[in-house]
Amino acid sequence: MVTLSLNFGVLAVELVFLFMGLFIFLIDKFINNKNYAFYLAFIALVVGLGFLLFTPFGEFAQAFKTDFYATTIKLFFLIGFLLVLFISYFYLQTFKALNVGEYYGLLLFSGMGAFVMLSSQDFLTLYLGMELMSIPVYFLIASSFVYRRASVEGALKYFIAGSLASLFYLLSLGIIYYFIGAISFKEVFIKLAQGLYKKEMILALLLILSAFSVKLSLVPFHMWAPDAYEASPLPVTSFLASLIKFALMAAFIKILIVAFAPLKISLGELLIPITLLTLLVGALLAIKQDNIIRMLAYSSITHAGYASLGLLSGDFLGYGFTIFYMFVYLFMTVGTFGLLIYLAKLKREFLEIPALSGLSKDLPLISFFVLVFFFSLAGIPPTAGFMAKFYLFVMLIKSNLLWVALLALLFSIIGAYPYLRVIKVIYMDKPLHVVEKERYGFSMLFPVLISLLVVILLGIYPKPVIDFIQRTLYLYLSLLYFHF
């Protein structure tokens, strides 16, 4: 007889997000100063961080479990979430029509969905978490309708793409349940380890890969992502590009190492063409963009491709480098969008690359910050972006995938052009506008400086973070397979 453990303590962080989000929705109509919602959301994240660090690991009803892996990823996610919260506050002080309590409530609901997804122990719970993470984002994208009518179109496109991902995922779920007779990761691993249903599970894995490819905007499911990114409020775009993708990649890795570990060779064969095409297409399409948000949207496709390189080896070292890459990308993205929000508040035209001509003359500090983040995004040393790419390429060579490493290196050179073009426009072109400076504000400087510090420190000395991630994965896998 199976005994279900209903340990609500392991759900503490998710419950904090849920109740605080509901509370904000309940009281928002009665409070005029909408900044209250930022403070409540901030309190929810700090309390959630406390529960995350001090609540013992455990399981809830065999569907949800906190462990080394989930807690580590959630910790990274929460740090990034705090930074996105600050740049949201900075943005909403100018774009006041969006400064409503529901904005922060939806962010909390989306974060709760990400946490449920990361702690899931079966395919159904993971699906529910993924949807809970995605649905609030559709509303957040459409929320900027008051400023941009195209936001509804962007939200609709993101919703349709999300529905396609759900279709792929549910088809795989049906196949798994039909052949395995269960939907837990553990049962799938046991059947595959026994040599059963290998062909059927490869088909299921292919469908799951398609679902995550849509969510991560990998080729050939990348076409509508720039529309959604451009239509969103800038903090929501940073949330989409950094935190949502980070959580999705971590959840996909969890599926691979827990459920489909016996299929690791087949996975590499499936992913190589998708990854290389993603790198090439994202880099080429980013080159011709004049709008900096669309350029970053296409580059985010490329960066998801880089992160996927770590999955090709099929071992925990490669997975660790993928997580490290997404961790670095999180800070690069949040820092970049913090600066873009500042520029957009000065003049909306600054989101067009030609309008940034000679910006370094009037805004030397902001220009220098842009230079550091864009050097990191391009993979130029000594930045964290370079180290993240370096480890992935070394891993490919060690996995006897030299030709993949060489092609990825070639595509990374092509992909560096859009970032270097922006730097060239800022530092070498003649000024087109007279820029009137504004106060930076703590809510903008804090996330940008933290991101800058991480990008520089990890570019010089990344070993402690990489070791931490690799040891977490090693310990997680050791305990997991011992338990199996």
Condensed to tens digits (0 to 9), the pLDDT of residues 248-257 reads: 999 999 999 8
Q: Show me where the domains of the chain are located.
A: 266-483
pLDDT at 7: 79
pTM passes above 0.75: yes
The rounded percent of the chain whose pLDDT value lies above 90 is 69
**What's the whole-number mean pLDDT along residues 338-349?**
89
pLDDT at 481: 67
**What's the whole-number mean pLDDT along residues 19-26?**
96
At residue 482 the predicted structure's pLDDT band, cuts being 50, 70 and 90, is low
**What's the whole-number mean pLDDT along residues 227-243?**
91
**β-strand partners of 291:** 352
Q: Does pLDDT of 263 surpass 90?
A: no
pLDDT at 27: 94
Give the C-alpha separation, 241 to 295, whole Å.
12
Query: Over the chain, what HEC string results?
Result: CCCCCECHHHHHHHHHHHHHHHHHHHHHHHCCCCCHHHHHHHHHHHHHHHHHHHCCCEEECCCEEECHHHHHHHHHHHHHHHHHHHHHHHHHCCCHHHCCHHHHHHHHHHHHHHHHHHHECEHHHHHHHHHHHHHHHHHHHHHHHHCCCHHHHHHHHHHHHHHHHHHHHHHHHHHHHHHHCCCEHHHHHHHHHCCCCHHHHHHHHHHHHHHHHHHHCCCCCCCCHHHHHHHCCHHHHHHHHHHHHHHHHHHHHHHHHHCCHHHHHHHHHHHHHHHHHHHHHHHHHHHCCCEHHHHHHHHHHHHHHHHHHCCCCCCHHHHHHHHHHHHHHHHHHHHHHHHHHHHHHHCHHHHEHHHHCCHHHHCHHHHHHHHHHHHHHHCCCCCHHHHHHHHHHHHHHHCCCHHHHHHHHHHHHHHHHHHHHHHHHHHHCCCCCCCCCCCCCHHHHHHHHHHHHHHHHHHHCCHHHHHHHHHHHHHHHHHHHHHC
Condensed to tens digits (0 to 9), the pLDDT of residues 295-314 reads: 999 999 999 999 999 998 87
pLDDT at 449: 96
If one compares 145 and 325, the residue with the highest pLDDT of the two is: 325
pLDDT at 238: 94
Q: Does pLDDT of 266 surpass 80?
A: no
> Do 281 and 222 contact (CB within 8 A), yes or no?
yes
**What's the whole-number mean pLDDT along residues 34-51?**
95
Condensed to tens digits (0 to 9), the pLDDT of residues 350-402 reads: 889 999 999 998 899 999 999 999 999 999 999 999 999 999 999 999 988 89
Residues 6+ apart with CB under 8 A from 325: 303, 306, 307, 310, 388, 389, 391, 392
> Do 261 and 295 contact (CB within 8 A), yes or no?
no
Q: Tokens 């930045």 label which residue?
A: 383
For the ranges 10-14, 93-97, 111-115, 222-226, the one whose mean pLDDT is highest: 111-115
- Which of 257, 313, 190, 264 lies closest to 474 in space, CA to CA? 257
pLDDT at 3: 64
**What's the whole-number mean pLDDT along residues 391-419?**
93
Residue 120 phi/psi, 5-degree rounding, is: -65, 150
Q: Does pLDDT of 102 surpass 80?
A: yes
Condensed to tens digits (0 to 9), the pLDDT of residues 434-478 reads: 777 778 888 999 999 999 999 999 999 999 999 999 999 888 888
Average pLDDT, the chain: 91
Q: Does pLDDT of 188 surpass 60?
A: yes
Residues 6+ apart with CB under 8 A from 267: 205, 209, 256, 260, 311, 314
Q: Does pLDDT of 89 surpass 80?
A: yes
At residue 328 the predicted structure's pLDDT band, cuts being 50, 70 and 90, is very high
pLDDT at 483: 58
pLDDT at 431: 83
Q: Does pLDDT of 420 surpass 90?
A: yes
If one compares 58 and 324, the residue with the highest pLDDT of the two is: 324
**What's the whole-number mean pLDDT along residues 141-160?**
87
